[in-house]
Amino acid sequence: MATPRPRPDYAKLSIRIATPAQKVQSHKNQYPEWGQPRGFDVPQFLHRETILNGDDRPWVRDGGFTTWVLVPRDDPESLDLLASCETYKRDSLYLPPGETTPRPTTAYGIASVFCIPEHRGNRYPTFLLQLLHYVMAEEGTLPPFPAAWGAPPDIKGYKDARFSVLYSGVGRVFYSKVRKGDGEASEPGWVADEHAHRIWQIEDAPAPQVDGLEFLGAEEVEKLASGVDEYMKAELVNTGDKSKTRLAILPTRNMFGIHPLRYELAPGHRKTATFGVRLPAPAPGTPQPFFTYTYEISSARPERLVLLYVQHPVPFSAVLAAAKHEGVGSIEMWGGFAGWDAEAGGATLDRDDSVCALAQYGFGGDDKVEWEWVEKYAWC
């Protein structure tokens, strides 16, 4: 029987904003698992990160994007990263029960949680994210910081969030165990949302005839974000379970622009790809419905269309028409999109892979909140 590995002394570890060298090292660490399988070589992968999250990007400015590392307290610039992750700061809303005007807040989308194989088994990613709760959450919304963890993080420009979200690739349970605090006073971390991850295989599906579809390029899709921002502010009061505090992440900071850029930096991308479709208005004087999307490229299967945001009424036939237009083999979707299961049929409902999960701060429990507009763009 193998001897159990001794638990690290977490009081000797610290969460830090990555130095430029640590940020590059985090990407080098990720490359074998996330870059190489997608066709990147190392210089391409590092260049992609430089372009995608350069200082001039609207989602990066003013602390919008941060790389975090877990390192020894006595060696804060170490390149031997125990764990790393990234956060995107997001303008957001919450609406308590009985109120009609959404309140502004901050949320964070968490991405790229990583630990090299040599450091696995020590709970380093778990501890990094436990500390991250205390970096992000508003003061007074968390259990007391555990004394066994040493001095709490004191990083300026944060402590402004009422919730955070991530997409789990390791099932529904792991991130709920990344608890806020420790021991009996602790609370669950990121709890899986009930929305399923849906995939439609469409290689042999006939192309439907849908009149009036207007295909949109990256720049046209970006222009839609301001209208969605105002739509969410107006519609949150009419959306979801009114007995709960309803949460929404806004597409400000040009978040409709990041996914086209991400795709265009990938090896094998199609230069003619579109990123959205606008439909005719359902009645004179009403807004035009639309949906946006990006693509997942994989050497193991045909390219996949990934839905990002849908502003109804959008029939599934329009989505299928877009997929056939782009020549992809499948459609991927998060969120509810009521009615599509009955209309489309044949979806694979996956509740254990790419699970969307939410951590709430100070709303009285995970059963007291509801995340609206759960779409893929929200994670970044």
pLDDT tens-digit series, residues 12-39: 999 999 999 999 999 999 999 999 988 8
Note the CATH number of domain 197-349: 3.40.630
CA distances from residue 68 to 34, 82, 131, 136 in whole angstroms, order as listed: 18, 11, 10, 12
Higher confidence at residue 19 or residue 342?
19
Note the CATH number of domain 10-195+354-379: 3.40.630.30
Which residue, 246, 245, 207, 203, is CA-closest to 373?
246
β-strand partners of 111? 86
Q: What pLDDT is recorded for position 356?
A: 85
What is the distance between the alpha carbons of residues 12 and 41, in angstroms, rounded to a whole number?
36
CA dihedral 57, 62, 65, 69 (to 10 degrees): 140
Q: What pLDDT is recorded for position 6?
A: 67
Q: What angle do CA 178, 137, 133 make, to 5 degrees?
A: 20
* Residue type (1 letter), 314: V
Q: What pLDDT is recorded for position 1?
A: 46
- 296: which residues sit within 8 A by CB, 6+ positions away? 303, 304, 306, 332
Lowest mean pLDDT among 41-55, 65-79, 340-354: 340-354
Please state whether the predicted TM-score (pTM) of the whole model is above 0.75: yes
Residue 345 has pLDDT above 90, yes or no: no
Q: What pLDDT is recorded for position 351?
A: 60
**DSSP per position, 214-265:** EEE-HHHHHTTHHHHHHHHHHHGGGSS-TTSEEEEE--TTTHHHHHHHHHHT
Per-residue pLDDT reduced to its tens digit, 97-137: 999 999 999 999 999 999 999 999 999 999 999 999 999 99
Domain range list for the chain? 10-195+354-379, 197-349
User: How confident is the model over 278-299, as a mean pLDDT?
Assistant: 92
Please return the burial class of 141, using the count of CB atoms within 10 Å of its CB with bins 0-12, 13-18 and 19+.
Answer: middle
User: How confident is the model over 131-151, as a mean pLDDT?
Assistant: 97
Beta strands in the chain (DSSP E): 13-17, 65-72, 83-95, 103-114, 161-168, 191-192, 197-201, 214-216, 245-249, 276-278, 290-298, 301-311, 330-333, 348-350, 355-360, 369-371
Per-residue pLDDT reduced to its tens digit, 162-183: 999 998 877 778 888 999 999 9
Residue 376 has pLDDT above 90, yes or no: no
What is the distance between the alpha carbons of residues 202 and 74, in angstroms, rounded to a whole number?
54
Q: What percent of the chain has pLDDT over 90?
A: 77
Per-residue pLDDT reduced to its tens digit, 210-268: 999 999 999 999 999 989 999 999 999 999 999 999 999 999 888 899 999 999 999 98
Q: Do domains 10-195+354-379 and 197-349 have the same CATH topology?
A: yes
Per-residue pLDDT reduced to its tens digit, 199-208: 888 877 778 8
